[in-house]
Amino acid sequence: MTTFLLVRHGETADNHNQVFQGHGGGPLNEVGLAQAKRVGERLATVHLDAIYASDLTRAAETAQAIADHHSIAVAIDPLLREVDVGAWQGKRREVLEAEFSEEWAAWRRGEDIRRGGGETYAEAGARAHKLAADIARPELEHVVVLVSHAGTLRALATHLVGAPLDAFAPVRNTAVSCVEWRGEGLARLAFWNDTNHLADPLSLLRPR
């Protein structure tokens, strides 16, 4: 059985400012670095066989905070990138509502559209699932961390577990989710969106 630990990256300035990042976005901000440190500490005593991360900086930085507690090099793979949001990238909600009103309304209704000419959740999930299937070792007790992004992790979960996208709540920064995978059609969602390592939010508050 392969146990996939799905981890979202820590907070960035764009997350804080509610900007859609897509394939762009910058590094972790101060809060994000603290979150990454916390999730690294949480997984420090867990046996890990591999750590994979999106090639976007925010995910790679979070993965390294986990790898710092293990003798494992982070494997960077663009298949774990965030869902491509095309022309939505770098824009805030109010701008999108004005400039892409029909697309915005369709997305808010739950339609799996190519936002801004980018890709669908289904397409992003399929590419991430290709990586997961390639590295899975169902015949072994194998634990793999995949550090990725909110949209991609939800989309990947639909492929691994076989549930619809709306079955998975939006993923919080550095949340850990766990899927036990024994092969196609043989997976169990152990838990989703767990942020117990951030249980003391006061230490993450920004100064005035």
Task: Point out the residues that are catalytic.
Answer: 9, 82
Q: What is the largest CA-CA distance in the chain?
A: 52
Query: 112: buried, middle or exposed (CB in 10 Å: 19+, 13-18, 0-12)?
Result: middle
Helix/strand/coil for 147: strand
CA angle, corner 38, sides to 32 and 39, nearest 5?
Answer: 90
Pairwise CA distance, residues 162 & 187, whole Å: 8
